[in-house]
Homo-oligomer: A and B are copies of this chain.
Amino acid sequence: MADFTVLFFPGGRQVVIGEGESLINAMIKANIPIIASCGGEGVCSRCKVMVKEGRVKSLSTGRLTVEEQKQGYVLACRSFPESHLVIEVPEESRLGEHQVMLGESGDNWKRPADAPGDTCLCTGGLGVPLFRKLRLVLPEPDINDSEDDLGRLVRVIRKETGIKHLQPSLDVLRTLPQVLRRSGWKVTVSLAGGGGYHAVEIIEVKPGHADGQYYGLAVDIGTTTVVAQLIDLGNGRTVGMKGAYNRQAVFGDDVISRIIQASEGGLQGLQKAVVDTINDLVEELTAEQRIKPADIGAVVCAGNTAMTHMFLGIDPTYIRLEPYTPAANSIPAVQAGYAGLKIHPRALIQCLPGIGSYVGGDITAGVLITGMAFSGDLTLFIDIGTNGEIVLGNQEWLISCACSAGPAFEGGGLRYGMRAMQGAIEHIKIACGGADVEYKTVGGAPPVGICGSGLIECVAGLYRAGIIDRGGNFVAAGSTPRLRESAEGMEFVLSWSGESGRREDITISEAEIKNLLRSKAAVYAGIRCMLQAVGLPVEAIDRVIIAGGFGQYISIRDAIDIGMLPDVPVEKYSYIGNSSLKGARAVLLSGRAWEEIEEIIHKMTYLELSAGSAFMDEFVSALFIPHTDLNLFPSARS
């Protein structure tokens, strides 16, 4: 089989692929982030690229217009080289680079006053970090004190730290006698583990006191993005933060596609993709801070259950099959070398435990950070992505559920839907009658699509402007040229092609609006089911905390108005940012936080919404704007 070079623009990266390899393989090799929602099945038609030079053989998919084909567009996942190639990757097919929401907003958010441990979580003041270096001077042995080297070392560490169970790595022990003596009994000792661990491990003993800096990594492993924070564990300061798209994206946009791929032999590839993603972040962070990767001695990861499984190479197959049992909710800490992370090979990697297939470590992290598990206030915690994970409770009880919101809030399933990237319409106002539309895009760029926060405002706006009725049907035909017939039925023009960053109008169809109503109904139905399970009314909620990237930009008022979020005073709402990352950071810094995590998973129950008919009843009632039962939304504007 022949090999061909493929040169990509923009960027100018060049790779070599075989005759039988698809262009999407070439893009993976070239490390070009690509949108391939369907996982390379030729269905989503998001991996459009343009052949500028050379010939490709493209399998027919019927997904490209005649116009597009004329322009030289092909689907990367369905095209194979027949010569050396020059390929252009158009803006809309690229995963925007350096646009990952790092989630630092919400950082000034505070735990409720009655929840303990704020200091511990922020400063490591209570408990200890998961990784430490100690600068020690050991008493030299003599004939009256000839204790073994390890015993002597442990004695001094114990005196310094109070740690009860300490054990050395065998590698450390093998050279310990020389290290101690050559350094004149003055050494720097690296300890991995802390509160809640059976034993703290001595992972390194180095001569002298020079090499005393030590770091940890908090990682939020999201389905879409991976964010890593480099933390100086000596003082608790975050010294760097980087985000990147999860390289698993080439295996499919959503978790379910990836689980299917994993089940069909792709697990190792998925594992490698996310490990590579994290390793790249480590490389960038350590280069930027001029530290050695080996000075990172602990990693705490928070992710949903499927992400955690795939990161460690654990079979996730049954997460998506009834009765939805993961391999493990709590996974023991593993060594970095074993997991493939390029930091200290004996660094501890702890994935935060979840409580089920659809309530993972990211949610546990969030519950930790809100302090709700230790507060008297009844708190509702909502993290909305493709799945809406919702936790309700207080210091006495916690109940959680996951409702399948669908990909609408992340731009999936809509022709012009997109994530909150450059050019996404994130805010929109529609005047009465619908003729005037004002919007704001991410980065102020010409609009190329609409993201979740924009969609909520769009539906609220269309309803208030009288364009759609409570069921999401267009009811204002003829009132504005923006509302028009298309091949697939009625659609509303959000942005004309003249002002758009595309060469076409950006629209939303009735089918898409109804899709969005299903998403919002799923979230609200989940909340109602939980309230009913504990026999409490909406009014009992003291606080509502929104987490996740999507939550940052949404208009709470509009979300209440369309009946997605419960109608409690807006002042009770707050936004917590990337609580998954913050929870990981807290555990990294404080053994006490780990103990709280253990309490949380012990305390939290899971409400399986697919069991029984309650959820379906609530869901159907919630398909209207704001709801079938208007009494539930006394303050909703219409």
Chain A residues packing against B (C-beta within 8 Å): 141-152, 165, 167-168, 170, 173-178, 181, 198-199, 312-315, 317-318, 322-332, 334, 338, 356-357, 608, 610-611
Contacts and interface: CB of A to CB of B under 8 A. Distances in A.
A258 to B, nearest CB: 16
A173 to B, nearest CB: 5
A178 B317 contact: yes
A334 B170 contact: yes
A150 B608 contact: no
A142 B151 CA distance: 51
Contacts of A143: 322-323, 608, 610-611
A325 B139 CA distance: 13
A507 to B, nearest CB: 41
B177 A318 contact: yes
Nearest to A322: B143
| Max chain B Cβ within 10 angstroms of own Cβ: one of A149, A313, A356, A608 | A149
Given A143-B610, A144-B611, A151 B329 contact: yes
- If over half of A's interface residues share one DSSP class (helix, strand or loop), that class is named, otherwise mixed; here it is loop
B174 A314 contact: yes
Nearest to A153: B328
Total copies of this chain within the assembly:
2
Contacts of A176: 314-315, 327-328
Contacts of A330: 150-151
**Which 9 A-B pairs have CB atoms at the shortest separation, nearest pair first?**
A150-B328, A198-B198, A146-B323, A167-B332, A148-B329, A143-B323, A177-B315, A148-B326, A141-B325
Nearest to A610: B143
Given A144-B611, A146-B608, A168 B317 contact: no
A609 B167 CA distance: 31
Contacts of A313: 170, 174
A181 B327 CA distance: 11
A312 B170 contact: yes
A323 B313 CA distance: 49
A218 to B, nearest CB: 21
Contact of A174 (B150, B315, B325, B610): B315
A317 B174 CA distance: 11
B327 A177 contact: yes
Nearest to A142: B323
A331 B173 contact: yes
Given A148-B326, A148-B328, A198-B198, 7 more contacts: A146-B608, A147-B325, A149-B328, A150-B331, A176-B314, A177-B318, A177-B327
Contacts of A150: 327-331
Nearest to A313: B174
| Max chain B Cβ within 10 angstroms of own Cβ: one of A142, A323, A329 | A323
Contacts of A331: 150, 170, 173
28 contacts: A141-B325, A143-B323, A143-B610, A146-B608, A148-B325, A148-B356, A149-B318, A150-B328, A150-B331, A151-B328, A151-B329, A152-B325, A168-B332, A170-B312, A170-B314, A170-B332, A170-B334, A173-B312, A173-B314, A174-B312, A174-B314, A175-B315, A177-B315, A177-B325, A177-B327, A178-B317, A181-B318, A198-B198
Given A314-B173, A338-B170, A356 B146 contact: yes
A328 B168 contact: yes
Given A170-B334, A177-B315, A178-B317, A326 B149 contact: yes
A52 B333 CA distance: 62
A330 to B, nearest CB: 7
